[in-house]
């Protein structure tokens, strides 16, 4: 689920009008990814990369 959110992050940000809100959305996603890795797991972990906040914001700005 988190991996899909990372893949669709620009679609999530498409309707956001404020950089502060976009930054908060990205920070929340990264916090949830870190929490995922911190939890004990009964099976193998699925690799989920952290979002590069500045790169995603630059893409968001260019699209807006």
- Please write the tens of the pLDDT for every residue from 4-61: 999 999 999 999 999 999 999 999 999 999 999 999 888 888 899 999 999 999 999 9
Which domain, by its residues, includes 16?
2-63
Handedness of CA 9, 45, 49, 22 (dihedral sign): positive
Q: What is the DSSP letter of 1?
A: -
Predicted TM-score of the model (pTM)? 0.91
Per-residue confidence (pLDDT) for residue 6, from 0 to 100: 97
Count of structural domains, the chain: 1
Note whether 44 and 6 are within 8 A (CB): no
- Rg, the chain, Cα only: 13
- pLDDT attached to residue 43: 86
């Amino acid at each position: 689920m988190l991996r899909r959110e990372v893949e669709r992050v620009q679609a999530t940000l498409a309707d956001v009008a404020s950089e502060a809100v976009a930054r908060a959305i990205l920070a929340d996603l990264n916090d949830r990814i870190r929490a995922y890795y911190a939890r004990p797991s009964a099976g193998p972990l699925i690799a989920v990369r952290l979002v590069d906040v500045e790169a995603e914001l630059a893409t968001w700005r260019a699209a807006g």
